[in-house]
């Protein structure tokens, strides 16, 4: 049975990032026109789903298929890589930056993967309709660092985002965070365990070495060219915090 939440007006939510960048190429406009409607995650738009009925993931991806979530997929290379490696998994990607969405659609065409769904908008709207404990893995890769101290409340690793993320992640689900910003690392390991996650690091190599199935993104390549060190943080959604290692940045 589809869970239904009480009808209400769309909340007013601050959005500080970019929605659109430089002009799209003709091929990217074609991807958006021809492919996005078929790949767009249903039931997220407030006008179409004002009661915020829960998204039917079994109808979207098939019965018993694990569902993963990538929050802010950038150009989409990691998401397509994971979809190709894990064809028995359904992946939902969120990205409000329409140029990034167009880039992802082009990569999906080239790779021929079909186990993907795209929400071209704010992940908080998707959280509204994801069922409790429905996501088996989540990725937050090179999020906007908002480097100025007065802007740190805009970061993803704040209660506004972590509370609904914790709700939709299943017990034992993995949450991966990659960033090249030391202060973002500090905020992440401070805030994420407060929301029922355990940081799985047992030594420095656990956050300095990329995951075995990692594909370096264009954001990471830029960081490396500019001399910044990537950090790879792995958390498990399972209860009280456990800080298993001291971090030295």
Q: Which residues contact 138 (CB under 8 A, 6 or more apart)?
A: 68, 69, 70, 71, 165, 169, 173, 174, 175, 176
| DSSP letters spanning the chain | ----PPP-PPPP----S-S--SPPPHHHHHHHHHTHHHHBPTT-STTT-TT-PPP-HHHHH-TT--EEEEES-TTSHHHHHHHHH-TTSEEEEE---HHHHHHHHHHHHHHT--SEEEE-S-HHHHHHHSPTT-EEEEEEES-----SGGGGGGSSSSHHHHHHHHHHEEEEEEEEEEES-HHHHHHHHHHGGGGTEEE---STHHHHSPPTT----HHHHHHHHTTPPPEEEEEEESSS--B-S----
Task: Give catalytic status of residue 144 as yes or no.
Answer: yes
Residue of higher predicted confidence among 92 and 155: 92
Packing angle between helix 98-111 and helix 77-85, nearest 10 degrees?
30
**Tell me, what's the pLDDT at 41?**
93
- 45, 56, 122, 144: the catalytic one is 144
How confident is the model over 60-101, as pLDDT tens digits? 999 889 999 999 998 899 999 999 999 999 999 999 888 989
Tell me the Cα Rg of the chain.
Answer: 18
Nearest to 121 by CA among 104, 97, 137, 140: 97
- Percent of the chain past pLDDT 70, that is, above it, reads 84
pTM exceeds 0.85, yes or no:
yes
Hey, what CATH topology would domain 26-237 get? Rossmann fold (3.40.50)
The structure tokens 């949450």 sit at 175
**Tell me, what's the pLDDT at 2?**
45
For the chain, give every domain's residue range.
Answer: 26-237
Question: Using 50, 70 and 90 to split pLDDT, how confident is the model at 4?
Answer: very low
Structure tokens at 62: 């098939």
């Amino acid at each position: 049975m589809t869970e239904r939440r009480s009808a209400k007006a769309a909340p007013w939510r601050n959005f500080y990032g970019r929605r659109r960048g430089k002009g799209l190429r003709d091929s990217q406009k074609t991807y958006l026109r021809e492919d996005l409607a078929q790949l767009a995650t249903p039931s997220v738009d407030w006008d179409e789903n004002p009661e915020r009925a829960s998204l039917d993931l079994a109808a979207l991806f098939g019965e018993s298929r694990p569902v993963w979530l990538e929050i802010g997929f950038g150009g989409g290379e990691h998401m397509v890589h994971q979809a190709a490696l894990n064809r028995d998994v359904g992946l939902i990607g969120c990205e409000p930056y329409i140029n990034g969405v167009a880039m992802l659609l082009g990569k999906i065409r080239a790779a021929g993967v079909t186990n993907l769904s795209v929400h071209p908008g704010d992940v908080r709207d998707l959280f509204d309709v994801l069922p409790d404990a429905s996501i088996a893995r989540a990725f937050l890769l090179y999020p906007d660092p908002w480097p100025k101290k007065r802007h740190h409340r805009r970061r993803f690793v704040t209660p506004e985002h972590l509370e609904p993320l914790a709700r939709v992640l299943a017990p034992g689900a993995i949450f991966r965070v990659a960033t090249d910003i030391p202060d973002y690392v500090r905020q992440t390991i401070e805030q994420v365990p407060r929301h029922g996650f355990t940081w799985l690091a047992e030594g420095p190599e656990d956050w300095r070495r990329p995951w075995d199935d990692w594909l370096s993104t264009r954001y990471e390549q830029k960081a490396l060219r500019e001399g910044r060190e990537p950090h790879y943080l792995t958390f498990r959604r399972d209860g009280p915090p456990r800080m298993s290692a001291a971090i030295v940045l």
